[in-house]
Structure 1
Amino acid sequence: MESPKNFNHVPPHADDLELAVLGAMLVDADGLRMAMGLLGTTEEVFYQMPHRLLFRSMVRLFTAGRAVDAVSLHLRLGQDGALPKYGVMDAYEGIVQSVSTSAHVETHVLQLLELYTKRRMGDIGRLLVSKAYDSMQDSFELLTEAQQLLNSAHAVLQLKRPQAVGEVYDSIIDDIVRATQQTGGLTGVPSGLSLLDRLTGGWQDSDLVVIAARPGMGKTSLVLSNGVFAAKAGYPGAIFSLEMGLRQLVRKMIASEAGYTTQQLLKGKLDGGQEEAEAIRQRASALKAIGLYIDDTASLSLGELRAKATKLKAEHGIRWIVVDYLQLMTAPEVKGNREQEISAISRGLKKLAKELNIPVIALSQLSRSVEQRGGDKRPMLSDLRESGAIEQDADMVIFLYRAEYYKILEDDMGNPTKDTTELIVAKHRNGSTAVGDEALIVSSKMAFGRYSDLNESPAPAGERPFYDKETKQTVQLGKLPASKFEEEVDMPF
């Protein structure tokens, strides 16, 4: 491979730029606050060791609430034992004598960060080359590590500063105005279930939604149903499945779309044989065009999820993420018990939702205490398995409850519970947990993995809301007019 032009072995840096930033911090309080706000306490941004030591002493003065000026800095350098090291005294005298303004400190700090990012990229490259030639390294683990390292380098330049209320005020009012124009108050990603969308306004950006239940309640079927609906409506998304494989999930989607059970398709139990199987190819073909991405990596770590989700957002513009399910994830960097690891995963999922500004829907198992209780065995927040942090971090917690599963065939009002699921909203940080006095009960044909409004079929594709990429708004379509042909002609079937 041809060597890059103008390449030398000295890492990119600029001594005069480093002195300019340090001097600006010393000249006045505004320069100090600006530089500290952008740099934090990352002394590695400075390439020269004397400059790092100067910055370190300034940080110590700043965090102690002391004045940061030439006299205070000189005393602090002496206390830190830095004056006799690495030419620190020469650097100190240089910034005291040569810098008289902090006018351009923000520009200089950004330039400094760019040089620091280049040095980190060089370090990452050398590390990856070293590991690439190590026969003991796993290729997939190395790819994951590379993605994480690159993301961390990229984050250096993603400076996020505090904003005044006035800066975001008008955009928030714009959001409110748009919300008034949406039928049914749908402002987030639609689930396809009217009662749920009325309560939530759709899955909201930056929210961590936890959907929890005991095994066999239909958690995966619910999020597949929601995900297919959302993707068809123009909201692309990703499902990270740690339990079921890619082919299993797509088979479930095809079965639900075409009106078969998964077992029928798996075992080929079709009355029409091969001809009927080919007909399914056409009946479920709408799935081929939707923006739904599935990753079935087992034992997915939090770092891997973050790297993959960031890439999917950049490349495909995903609007939501599902993790199935939370307790199967790992956080190898956490040194502690399983509860601490689950807490770290829960916090990480909430952080990911905020970073990507999309809803993250995490499925969770409930503890066996549900089964051991008497009565109707309705779940409660204390049943969340392994960590109270899940409840704390989640913006919404929804339990799935199928009375039919526990041989309860009628509810308190005498209504049959067959093929129904109650969505129990146990926590809703940004709203209520119920739509008036109405329970959130939906139709759930578990044999087909199909969820819909009770006593209603899902709206035809032409009546569903969809996301307009040009206007970046959700378009609500009204009900299509009845066919005149159907009204005037007696149909022979």
Structure 2
Amino acid sequence: MSLLALQAEQVIVGCCLQGQILLEQIDGLRPDAFAGESHREAFAAILGSWSQGLPVDPVRLQDLLRDRGTAREELGYWIACSDSGFSVALLPGHIARVREMAARRALLATADRIAALAHEGGDIGEQIAAASAAVAELSQEQGEKRGLRVMADVVRDFLPEFGKRFEPKQDGVPTGFRDLDAVLHQMRPGNLVLVAARPAMGKTSFAMQIATREAERGGAVAVFSQEMADLELAARMFSSVGRIPLEGINRGELSSDDHERFASAVSRLQGLKLFIDDQPAQRLADIRTKVQRLRRRHPLSLVVIDYLQLMEGTPSKSSNRNSEIEQISRGLKAMAKELGCPVIALSQLNRDLERRPNKRPVLSDLRDSGAIEQDADIVLMLYRDEVYNPDSPDKGTAEVLIRKHRQGATGVVRLSWQGAYTSFGDLAPGWVEREAETSAGRAYAFND
């Protein structure tokens, strides 16, 4: 099959030279989509002249090409293109043909790059990651680019989606914590949700409770645990779900009641579509490949990554860890949109916050890169005062600080904390602190 569309290119150039079409009718076509070198140079010259508000006929085109030193055809060729009698009404079909052949040539070039990687020496994991990145880059380049849209079209597309929000079952994922869901409503498809905390605050337990509840709702959940082994995670899940002290599970010392609760937890957990990968230091390309493979078998509703700073970036001579984390963060957001489900990424916080009198974290405490804050749709930060103050009056409770919520309110939600089960829970109704900026500062209102 030929990957050239030289006749279609000739028609497009000819229609431009006829002076019967406008710039917007070209529909964003770029010169690099043309395979014929003379056609490519001519189309670039035409677009340049149009951008200055100047029309182009065959004579002017030839002058432009000569000025650029790219005149590869005689004037008669452009006159023939202009006088060929092609119908402007058929122009969209010719544009589509040129675009298709350009995409096929790009696909072939990507395949050649991947074939060259296969013949090179070096680490096979890095080469597979590079191949995956090349395919992802091609997919992004060839994705639909809608450009400017009139508001009537935006409203038309928004109304059906808005109507779905009033249906009993939404397509998002709840956290399962009553007061937190009252503020967030749901984690929506394509959301990147960041859960950040200092060590020992319970961020892994918090994320795993959300993951378990979503799996119990019937969703398929993928968990990438890069710090904790899958059996260690399982022990925590049995403790949380079965209300069994984690220390007893780890020591193998269970009461008769614990044995019954353990059996109940087994029946609850073993049938869930909850998939755990505990391979450490994974690359984003590896994770994307695995979730895409899983998605072919089970429609994914949630992905959890524990934690972001343990992921391996793609280093270059000019990169540092901050730029690698920025690359990973943006890749996770792109993956969430690509999968059409929320991605929860756990994150560390800078230890500098522990030097402050008030150790409640803020966005500037995010470790390694400010891009994490920019890419995330929701940023939740966990704080338990008893970690720093063992005699705290707030012992047994935790604060979920909603530091960023792209589609709604920020504020503070209080949860209970049962350390024996490494488990969070709902408090009595009324512990949602909704934050509002006023001229006098921040005001808080409590739900009744």
Q: State if a TM-score over 0.5 links the two structures.
A: yes
2:104 counterpart of 1:113: no
- Residue pair 1:148, 1:304 contacting (<8 A) in 2 also: no
Instruction: Extract unaligned runs of 5+ from structure 1.
Output: 1-6, 412-416, 457-493
Q: 1:73 aligns with which of 19, 43, 61?
A: 61
Q: CA deviation at 1:232?
A: 1.7
- Alpha-carbon distance in structure 1 between the residues aligned to 2:417 and 2:166: 31
Partner residue of 1:419? 396
- Alpha-carbon distance in structure 2 between the residues aligned to 1:270 and 1:115: 67
Measured against aligned partners, the alpha-carbon deviations of 1:131-153 in whole angstroms (never above 9, x if no partner) come to: 3344x243333333333333344
- Residue pair 1:212, 1:366 contacting (<8 A) in 2 also: yes
Q: 1:124 to 1:433 in 2, by over 3 A?
A: closer
Equivalent residue of 2:35, what SS?
coil
- Alpha-carbon distance in structure 1 between the residues aligned to 2:346 and 2:418: 20
Q: CA deviation at 1:333?
A: 6.2
Partner residue of 1:483? none
2:14 counterpart of 1:23: yes
- Alpha-carbon distance in structure 1 between the residues aligned to 2:19 and 2:239: 68
2:160 counterpart of 1:174: yes
Q: 1:63 to 1:211 in 2, by over 3 A?
A: farther
Partner residue of 1:487? none
Partner residue of 1:363? 346
Q: 1:222 to 1:171 in 2, by over 3 A?
A: same
Alignment of 1:291-302 (within 5 A): 291-302=273-284
- Alpha-carbon distance in structure 1 between the residues aligned to 2:48 and 2:294: 41
Q: 1:102 to 1:445 in 2, by over 3 A?
A: farther
2:425 counterpart of 1:440: no
Structure 1 window deviating more from structure 2 (227-236 vs 290-299): it is: 290-299
Partner residue of 2:37? 49
- Residue pair 1:241, 1:294 contacting (<8 A) in 2 also: yes
- Alpha-carbon distance in structure 1 between the residues aligned to 2:26 and 2:297: 33
- Residue pair 2:415, 2:424 contacting (<8 A) in 1 also: yes
Q: 1:291 to 1:407 in 2, by over 3 A?
A: same
Residue type of the alignment partner of 2:124: S
- Alpha-carbon distance in structure 2 between the residues aligned to 1:198 and 1:114: 47
Equivalent residue of 1:180, what SS?
coil
Partner residue of 1:122? 108
Q: CA deviation at 1:377?
A: 1.5
2:368 counterpart of 1:391: no
Partner residue of 2:443? none
Measured against aligned partners, the alpha-carbon deviations of 1:185-242 in whole angstroms (never above 9, x if no partner) come to: x662111101111101111233332221111111111111101111221333333333
- Alpha-carbon distance in structure 1 between the residues aligned to 2:263 and 2:249: 12
2:130 counterpart of 1:145: yes
Q: CA deviation at 1:367?
A: 0.8
Measured against aligned partners, the alpha-carbon deviations of 1:222-277 in whole angstroms (never above 9, x if no partner) come to: 111101111221333333333334443344334433334555445544467xx959
Q: CA deviation at 1:16?
A: 1.1
Alignment of 1:187-202 (within 5 A): 188-202=172-186
Structure 1 window deviating more from structure 2 (216-225 vs 377-386): it is: 377-386
- Residue pair 2:58, 2:75 contacting (<8 A) in 1 also: no
- Alpha-carbon distance in structure 2 between the residues aligned to 1:118 and 1:66: 33
- Residue pair 1:242, 1:328 contacting (<8 A) in 2 also: yes
Measured against aligned partners, the alpha-carbon deviations of 1:33-54 in whole angstroms (never above 9, x if no partner) come to: 24352x345x0x3223223323
2:225 counterpart of 1:241: yes
Residue type of the alignment partner of 2:221: G
- Alpha-carbon distance in structure 2 between the residues aligned to 1:66 and 1:298: 59
- Alpha-carbon distance in structure 1 between the residues aligned to 2:288 and 2:196: 22
Partner residue of 2:329? 346
2:379 counterpart of 1:402: no
- Residue pair 2:177, 2:426 contacting (<8 A) in 1 also: yes
- Alpha-carbon distance in structure 1 between the residues aligned to 2:297 and 2:96: 27
- Alpha-carbon distance in structure 1 between the residues aligned to 2:207 and 2:129: 26
Equivalent residue of 2:89, what SS?
coil
Partner residue of 2:405? 428
Instruction: Extract unaligned runs of 5+ from structure 2.
Output: 430-448
- Alpha-carbon distance in structure 1 between the residues aligned to 2:14 and 2:288: 38
Q: 1:257 aligns with which of 238, 241, 250?
A: 241
The CA RMSD measured in Å over matched residues stands at 3.4
- Alpha-carbon distance in structure 1 between the residues aligned to 2:85 and 2:322: 53
Partner residue of 1:35? 26
- Alpha-carbon distance in structure 2 between the residues aligned to 1:425 and 1:70: 62
Residue type of the alignment partner of 1:14: A
Equivalent residue of 2:42, what SS?
helix
- Alpha-carbon distance in structure 2 between the residues aligned to 1:317 and 1:264: 36
- Residue pair 2:58, 2:79 contacting (<8 A) in 1 also: no
Measured against aligned partners, the alpha-carbon deviations of 1:387-437 in whole angstroms (never above 9, x if no partner) come to: 3333333322211000111125444xxxxx333211011222221113xxx
Equivalent residue of 2:3, what SS?
coil
Residue type of the alignment partner of 2:353: V
2:265 counterpart of 1:283: yes
Q: 1:150 to 1:392 in 2, by over 3 A?
A: closer
Percentage identity across paired residues of the two chains: 32
Partner residue of 1:480? none
